[in-house]
Structure 1
Amino acid sequence: MNSILNKEPVLRAEKSLKQFNPDLKVIVLEETARTAKDAATALGCKVGAIVKSLLFKAEDSFVLCLVSGDKRCSLNKLKKILDKKDISMASPEDVKKVTGYTIGGVSPIGHLIKIKIFIDETLNRFSCIFAAAGHPNAVFEIDFENLKALTSGEIKEITE
């Protein structure tokens, strides 16, 4: 169980967390939290309280969208916000290269490359939300305002 906490991506997410607030901690789940539904089941919370970290390729740059587990990110809204014509989900290789995480455990923090982050405004419906911490079985709990401060993300209407 503890071996998950010793994995480099988890340590990297945890380091960002602790620098922000020493009281925040990585929670290791018995069951996988690879999908928002799995995570909600494991944590006993609403699917919407799970933060999905989705990386998009916007022409020559990347943007990470932190989206409520019960919502879908809107490519059309992203195109308007970024004023880019060509936006798509980043490939698994790009996700790994940019964030340092593999899909299923992409954390909103501790990225290898500094990226623009948009936060889905609908996440503020919940008093506490859960985001991945570098592994499908690792998450952390935070509130909306602290997620915004921790990630320096911009609050946007990015869902449909």
Structure 2
Amino acid sequence: MSLANVKKYFQQRGRENDIIELELSSATVELAAKALQVEPEKIAKTLAFRGSEREEAIIVVAAGDAKIDNKKFRQTFGIKARLLSPDETLEQTGHAIGGVCPFGLIKDLPVYIDISVKRFDTVFPACGSANSAIELTIEELYEYGRALDWVDVCKGWDGETVE
């Protein structure tokens, strides 16, 4: 159902035919990169974090080679970076793990785009299923993802060592 929601979302923007449905799984960065024949860092991974006690989930989209930096995350959002469980992710976003994306969410969740994607002209986020993607410019990712802001909450993507 989630892929259908994303198709409907993009249909309203005249982009539903740009969704790529793959024969192979794209459920992880590595699988998506292989299926799409692109570098792993160009996969825009979408992560769902537990918000504060009063908030819904927080969505962060980052480059495929970026890792969440707990210190930066806490400084930015004022809470510890804790990923939602698979069940919580589905409940909050309407997308199962492997197909999570900022498009066609079932709740109006805050979406942030990490600066790690800014080094590319285009990236490939999932489209609601473990075998779908769409190629978007960084500006389109921000616009279609209805992002609230750019954030710097990742490490490891600019050549620094990841512990």
Question: Normalization by structure 1: what TM-score?
Answer: 0.89
Gaps of 5+ in 1: 1-7
Gaps of 5+ in 2: 156-163
Going from structure 1 to structure 2, the CA distance change for 1:133 and 1:26 (only over 3 Å counts) comes to same
Alpha-carbon distance in structure 1 between the residues aligned to 2:15 and 2:112 = 24
| 8 A contact 1:63–1:115 mirrored in 2 | yes
| 8 A contact 2:7–2:16 mirrored in 1 | no
Q: After the TM superposition, which segments of 4 or more aligned residues of structure 1 sit over 3 Å from their partners? A: 21-24
TM-superposed CA distance for 1:125, in Å, is 1.5
Higher percent of residues as strand: 1
TM-superposed CA distance for 1:24, in Å, is 5.5
Aligned to 2:74: 79
Q: Which structure 2 residues correspond to residues 107-146 of structure 1 after superposition, within 5 A? A: 107-146=101-140
| 8 A contact 1:128–1:142 mirrored in 2 | yes
Q: In the TM superposition, what whole-angstrom CA distance separates every residue of 1:12-50 from its partner, at most 9, and x where no partner exists? A: 011222223436621011111111111111111111110
| 8 A contact 2:8–2:16 mirrored in 1 | no
Alpha-carbon distance in structure 2 between the residues aligned to 1:40 and 1:132 = 11
| 8 A contact 1:9–1:100 mirrored in 2 | yes
Alpha-carbon distance in structure 2 between the residues aligned to 1:59 and 1:122 = 24
Alpha-carbon distance in structure 2 between the residues aligned to 1:93 and 1:22 = 29
Alpha-carbon distance in structure 2 between the residues aligned to 1:21 and 1:110 = 14
Alpha-carbon distance in structure 1 between the residues aligned to 2:16 and 2:91 = 29
Q: In the TM superposition, what whole-angstrom CA distance separates every residue of 1:113-141 from its partner, at most 9, and x where no partner exists? A: 11111111121222211111111111111
TM-superposed CA distance for 1:91, in Å, is 1.2
